[in-house]
Chains A and B, each alone.
Chain A
Amino acid sequence: MTDMTSNTPSRSQSQSAADEGAGREEKRLGFALTLPAQLLVLFIALFPILMQVYISLTDWSPLDGIPWYRAYELWIGLTNYVDLAGDPRFWSAIWRTLIVMLICVPVQFLLGLGLAILFVDEFPGRRAMYSTILVPMMVVPAVAGYMFFMLFQSGGPINGILSFLLGSSVQIAWLSDPDLALLGVIISDIWQWTPLMFLILLAGMLSVPQDQQMAAVLLGAGWWRRFFTIVLPRMKTIIVIAIAIRVIENFKVFDNFYIITGGGPGVATETISIYIYKVTQNDLIWGYVAAIALAILIVLSIVSGMAISRMRKG
């Protein structure tokens, strides 16, 4: 029992005690405790990815009547990947996903930052308003999708409000016009996730120490100047995290888009997840889907690997 003599509960203690008798128990326990998570990760990562590589090299579909492991009978080599490179619907889905991201994330960031500035100090009603602002992000995304589906009906409340504001009857067919449909789904995304930006940015803003700001006040620095020279630079990490989270989630976006427009009209709101879903469920060419999925996984791994190693250095 080395713990009795050395009263320094430091993090390296568990390592240094590992060669003692108690160390063996720790080793066993540490191994046992982390085992379920390791197995789950293997179960969902290693095997599926190997399977995916295999299927992506074949022309297999669940309709072929042969089990997936005999997909080699339909071996087509890299054909799926060649097809993918020249598939305009795939590239336009990628492009559309990026456009959605490039609009949603900055708008959410600016709105969230502006709101966070308003909430940074105490005022009557702050707590209740704070909780109310968070409501949209806790609504089930599929339900949020349905809310906006109702709102955008041509006889629905959005046209109702516009009619009221403009003084004449507005009958915009939001969801059957390609451009407006895209705008509509973007609005639903901004509605739902601005509160998340607000929540994270406010927490970050509140964690900036007050003393420096006080000193700056004493030196006569105005509010904007304090904000841009002291507060914002200190929030750098948090801003990166908040934006990264939204970029990642925006890339996956499916639920609300699919419910509002089903990817339509035509392919006007077809993001990458909706595209993959449709090829999976409607076209059932799973060999091709595996190739798409794998291509995306590889690109994401490279991008995220670079981002993580950069963040570790910085």
Chain B
Amino acid sequence: MQRSLKFEVFRYAAIAAFLALSLIPTLWMISMAFKPIAEWQSTGADLTWWPKNPTLDNFRFIFGESSSDMISALERTAGRPILASLLSAGFGTVIAMLAGTSAAYGLSRFGYGGNLPLALVQLRLFPPMAVMIPVMIMWAFLGLIDSWIGLALIYGIVTLPFAFWLMKTFFDDMPREIEDAALVEGCSRWRVFLRVTLPMMRPALASSALFIFILNWSDYLIALLLTTRDWVTIPVYMASLSSSMTGQLYGAKAALGLIAAVPPVIMGIAIQKQLVRGLTFGALKE
């Protein structure tokens, strides 16, 4: 549609203004992550927008190296929390995808589990905080407190609704002729599912898994309640990065925040076409 020049100017100006506001917080964190300790607390007229003496000290510090400026080396480094986040979010994704994909196929093809769509929407609806007391008791009983397995299990359940709904819309969209042809060839239903349907769904499976990984990776509250020391995840560990001796370790936190923020942003941009489908429970496909 033709638009006037005036509109084009307005459009670029408005988008530029919005982008500027929306990028400032991220850019500030990036800048902070590369600032030496002397520049962290710069204020007022001395406010350092961009590191004057860029350094990797903050990154070295959170991985256990003591630098001359920092008081002392960390007792617990960021390596373990990063591993905890990777393991719990990764295996949580596996659980959600396995249970969600098979259930979605069962419902989409054989009409089983008619109660699942609504049950899973409701599961998504409830604030996790409102079921955490029983979950904490159950996890303590099962010996799953402060373990990545325990986190992976709850992540798998919490993101199951997304896996189920996403895969259901993909299965509903998939033409059945190919499956039918394989059935005619004499394949069993199970073989058709494993050898014909799933391979065809590879792109859908990949984007759904990435989407669910982002959700799991982003959790803070559940890890805060279910981990105590050995398997705290990145966000929980990050909050502990301040001490009475040093105060807020701005630069160190920013460095860790940057490490935490990069994977989901890259994955999110990679699957941006599927984001709408995932976020709206498949109600909207692009």
List the interface of chain A (C-beta within 8 A of B).
1, 3-4, 9, 14-15, 22, 25-27, 29-34, 36-38, 40-41, 43-45, 47-49, 51-52, 55, 68, 111, 114-115, 118, 121, 123, 129-144, 146-148, 150-151, 154-157, 160, 163, 169, 191, 194-196, 199-200, 203-204, 206-207, 217, 237-238, 241-242, 245, 248, 251-252, 254-255, 258-259, 272-273, 276-277, 280-281, 286, 289-290, 292-294, 296-297, 300-301, 304, 308
Contacts A34-B116, A147-B28: A140 and B235 contacting too (C-beta < 8 A)? Answer: yes
Q: List, in ascending order, chain B residues with CB within 8 A of A245's CB.
A: 279-280
Q: List, in ascending order, chain B residues with CB within 8 A of A131's CB.
A: 269, 272
Q: Are A199 and B23 in contact (CB under 8 A)?
A: no
**Whole-angstrom distance between the alpha carbons of A202 and B12 in the complex?**
17
Q: Are B112 and A254 in contact (CB under 8 A)?
A: no
- Binary contact track B234-277/A, C-beta < 8 Å → 1, others 0: 11001100000000001001100100110011011100100110
Q: Does B63 contact A (CB under 8 A)?
A: no
Contacts A40-B156, A45-B119: A254 and B220 contacting too (C-beta < 8 A)? Answer: yes
**Whole-angstrom distance between the alpha carbons of A157 and B39 in the complex?**
13
Segment from B68-76, B98-106, B199-207 that makes contact with A: B98-106
Tell me the B110-153 residues at the A interface (CB within 8 Å).
110-113, 116, 118-135, 137-138
Q: Quick one: closest B residue to A139, CB to CB?
A: B261
Q: List, in ascending order, chain B residues with CB within 8 A of A1's CB.
A: 183-184
Q: Residue A29 contacts which of B106, B176, B286 (CB distance < 8 angstroms)?
A: B106
Q: Are B44 and A155 in contact (CB under 8 A)?
A: yes
- The smallest beta-carbon distance between B136 and chain A, in angstroms, is 8
Main secondary structure on A side of the interface with B: helix
Q: Quick one: closest A residue to B105, CB to CB?
A: A33
Q: List, in ascending order, chain A residues with CB within 8 A of B184's CB.
A: 1, 3-4
Q: Are B121 and A204 in contact (CB under 8 A)?
A: no
Q: Are A121 and B3 in contact (CB under 8 A)?
A: yes
- The smallest beta-carbon distance between A18 and chain B, in angstroms, is 8
Tell me the B176-220 residues at the A interface (CB within 8 Å).
176-177, 180, 183-184, 188-190, 193, 214, 217-218, 220
Q: Are A45 and B123 in contact (CB under 8 A)?
A: yes
Range class of the B interface residue count: 35 or more
Q: Residue B44 contacts which of A169, A241, A272 (CB distance < 8 angstroms)?
A: A169
Q: Does B5 contact A (CB under 8 A)?
A: no
- The smallest beta-carbon distance between A254 and chain B, in angstroms, is 5
Tell me the B30-73 residues at the A interface (CB within 8 Å).
32, 41-45, 47, 49
Q: List, in ascending order, chain B residues with CB within 8 A of A292's CB.
A: 130
**Whole-angstrom distance between the alpha carbons of A242 and B280 in the complex?**
8
Q: Are B106 and A34 in contact (CB under 8 A)?
A: yes
Q: Quick one: closest B residue to A155, CB to CB?
A: B43
**Whole-angstrom distance between the alpha carbons of A55 and B156 in the complex?**
26
Q: Residue A139 contacts which of B26, B112, B220 (CB distance < 8 angstroms)?
A: B26
Q: List, in ascending order, chain A residues with CB within 8 A of B8's CB.
A: 123
Q: Are A195 and B112 in contact (CB under 8 A)?
A: no
**Whole-angstrom distance between the alpha carbons of A22 and B179 in the complex?**
14
Q: Are A160 and B47 in contact (CB under 8 A)?
A: yes
Q: Are B28 and A142 in contact (CB under 8 A)?
A: no
Q: List, in ascending order, chain B residues with CB within 8 A of A52's CB.
A: 131, 133-134
Q: Quick one: closest A residue to B106, CB to CB?
A: A33
Contacts A140-B260, A248-B125: A33 and B279 contacting too (C-beta < 8 A)? Answer: no
